[in-house]
Every structure is written in C-alpha cells, then in structure tokens.
Amino acid sequence: MAEQNLALVKSALSRQRIETPSWAYGNSGTRFKVFAQAGVPRTVHEKLDDAARVHQHTGVAPLVALHIPWDRTEDYAALAEYAGERGLRLGAINANVFQEDEYKLGSVTNPDPAVRRKALDHLMECADIMDATGSRDLKLWFSDGLNYPGQDDLRARQERLAEALWSVYERLGPDQRLVLEYKLFEPAFYATDVPDWGTSYAHCLKLGPKARVCVDTGHHAPGTNIEFIVAFLLGEQKLGAFDFNSRFYADDDLMVGAADPFQLFRILYEVRAGGGLPGTPESAESDPGIAFMLDQCHNIEPKIPAIIRSVMNVQEATAKALLVDREALRDAQQSGDVLGANAVLMDAYNTDVRPLLGEVREELGADRDPMAAYAASGWAEAIVRDRVGGRQAGWGA
C-alpha cells in the first residue's frame, strides 16, 4: 500500500470515536441468572472511572452513553465536569420506559393514556438532561409490543407511537437529535412496535432531519443483511447511530465482532463507502454524524477488558474496511468480474491489521496492546479491593 494511502488510513483510524455504554460496566445477565462480579461500579461516577481506563488504553473511546434512570444524578453539569476531568464526554442519553410496573402492556403505545403520559414525561426529562450534559443524541428504544395476537391494535399503537415521537421531536434543540432503535423481538414475543428498520425509517422520515435510525447489530431476524440496511440508510441520510454487539442467535449482546467478524467488516466497509467515516475521501468535508456506540452485556466475562476488546474489534474491522482498494474494487465491479471484486474485499479482510493499529494507538498516546496494558495496570485488582459495600450497578440499577 502506498505511503500516502497508509497515512490516510491511519488518520481516519485516529479520528474514529467509539462510545461506550455506562451499563456495560455493571452487572448483566439473562432471565435465568445475573452473575455478580467483584469490583463492579456502584455509582455512575465509578462507571466513568472505568470508562476512563478504556479510553486511556485505547485512545478512541472518550464518549460514555448514559441510561436514565440507571444513571440518574442530582447534578448533570457536575457529572459532565467529572467526566471531563477524566478525558471523557457524556454521550447519548438512553431513555428507559420498560422497567416500571405501569409499562407491562407498553409505554408510549400503551392503550392507557395515563401510562403514555408518564412515558412521555420520562422522555421529556431525558431531553432536559441532554440540555444539561450537552449530549447530542436521545436514544429511544421501546420494549413496547404484544405477546399474543389480538392483545392490542397494531395500527393504533403506531399512531400512539407517532404522537409521542412528535412531541419529543418538537422538544429537541437545534443541535439535538432523536435516534430511534428497532428490534425484532424481546421482551415482546409476538409483535414489537418498532420491529425493523423500515418502521424506524418511516417514523424518522415523517419527523424530519433531526430524527435518525439506530442500528443495533443484534436486533434482526436471522439472515438479515445488515450492511445493506446501513448502505441504504446512509444514502438517505437517515443513519444516526450504531449499537454494536454480536449474536449467534437472538439479541445475545456479545462482544462486537465475537460472533461474525466478517459481518462487522462488511458493515464498516459500507459505512466507509457511504461516507460515514470522518477523515476519508468518501466523507469529504461533511460530518456524517454517525455515533459508533457499543451496547453489550458482559454476563460471564470481566467488564472492562471485554469493553476494551470490543473497542479493538471495531477498530480492526474499520482498519480492514479502510484498506479496501476502492479503485480496484470499482474496476472489477464495473467489468462484472465477480471473483475479482470479491477478492479485492477479501484481501483487505485477510490482512492482519493489528500491527497497524498498534502504531495508530502509539501515535495517539495510548497503548500498542491495550489488553496487556490494562492487565498490567493493576486497575482490576484495585477495584476488587476498593469497591466493597454499596450496591453494585447492574442492568436495571
């Protein structure tokens, strides 16, 4: 690869920012069991302390997404300051309208207007928090749906959803956005009110330019071509964010890239091709505005190194995507050379990009080998020693 191109690749890798979710630092599990881990944060501040380690070792993870009410605090400006002192910034605000008893049959789509009102109030509170934290994105995921056919009116629920989204949209400031996540199923087991990208896209289109789709890589039916969705949404200026994770079956929420690293590469290639990576020729000067968030559950593995590994996995896929020889690819595609075009893509995928990323990290002042550096840092031992008593943070707390 020419010297000049390599410089471009490294520059783009240096500019990529990966957002980690506060909840991934806490305990999580399945309906069968949540296994507690020693050293897990007990407060949002301790979550930020852990996030700071991830950023320190990787150099590309300064943003931390919050989840309300799990990260509710008295003074969000102070929290933002606390983050800033650790080299971090507060990222997306994630609303939670699925963990109170009233939401058993839905939140913004509930047949009961009082419940809808309560849910909307929470969304508005989240918008207020965004004002305080300076967050750009309000991330909306609704667990709303049905377990049984006939349980509620599918179309009426769409109308209730549209109404709530519109109220939120109107509330947003000029630099704030709403990103609407979709999910095939779980916790609803018959129908979900935003089951697929088409539904999210249709709502975002009606709302306007500040509404965008969030693609959680674990929320699709088996066989879904996720990179197609990414390419389509990017072309329509409607891709807002990723929730990265990986899955073999359903919404397994494993470390991103763990189940299908080739798929992750293909997704990031489409992000690059569609101009979604800042600092590449494809994105030109414009800011594509794609948030690269992780959304994972580290049920059995230690949280912090799992998040570091996930950040690295996104970087490796991105590096390979950047190494694709676009000119050679276009030539092969234009001439109908099926094997040749596929080979161009695979050449990049088969490259071992770990040395290259080691260099990028060093230039960023981070660690060539973040996993080893974290292991050597003593942090894991320190938190086990120090974080005694109190109530561990966890999914739902």
Q: Is the dihedral of CA 70, 55, 1, 278 positive or negative?
A: positive
Q: How many residues bind a copy of itself (CB under 8 A)?
A: 105
Q: Give the span between the Cα atoms of 133 and 386, in whole angstroms.
A: 28
Q: Give the span between the Cα atoms of 94 and 251, in whole angstroms.
A: 18
Residue of 116, 171, 266, 361 interacting with a copy of itself (CB under 8 A): 266
- 260 near a copy of itself, judged by CB under 8 A: yes
**Part of the chain binding a copy of itself (CB under 8 A), chosen from 7-15, 130-138, 234-242, 383-391:** 234-242
For a copy of itself, give the closer residue by CB, 20 or 133: 20
- 307 near a copy of itself, judged by CB under 8 A: no
For a copy of itself, give the closer residue by CB, 190 or 378: 190
Residue of 344, 356, 366, 383 interacting with a copy of itself (CB under 8 A): 344
Q: Which of 229, 192, 189 is nearest to 213 (CA)?
A: 229
DSSP string for 201-257: HHHHHHH-TTEEEEEETT-S-TT--HHHHHHHHHHTT-EEEEEE-B-SSSS--BPTT
Amino acid type, 383: I
Instruction: Write down the residue that tokens 């179309």 correspond to.
Output: 155
Instruction: Write down the residue that tokens 């890589």 correspond to.
Output: 217
Residue of 248, 363, 381, 388 interacting with a copy of itself (CB under 8 A): 248
Q: Give the span between the Cα atoms of 263 and 58, in whole angstroms.
A: 23
Structure tokens at 313: 């996995």
Residue of 120, 258, 293, 383 interacting with a copy of itself (CB under 8 A): 258
**Part of the chain binding a copy of itself (CB under 8 A), chosen from 18-26, 70-78, 260-268, 359-367:** 260-268
- 299 near a copy of itself, judged by CB under 8 A: yes
> Which residues is 140 bridged to in the sheet?
180
Q: Give the span between the Cα atoms of 71 and 244, in whole angstroms.
A: 21
Residues between 34 and 73 that touch a copy of itself (CB under 8 A): 35-36
Task: Determine the 3-state secondary structure of 243 from DSSP.
Answer: strand
Instruction: Compute the least distance from the CB of residue 116 to a copy of itself, in Å.
Output: 13
**Part of the chain binding a copy of itself (CB under 8 A), chosen from 4-12, 23-31, 61-69, 130-138:** 23-31
Residues between 105 and 164 that touch a copy of itself (CB under 8 A): 105, 111-112, 143, 147-155, 158-159
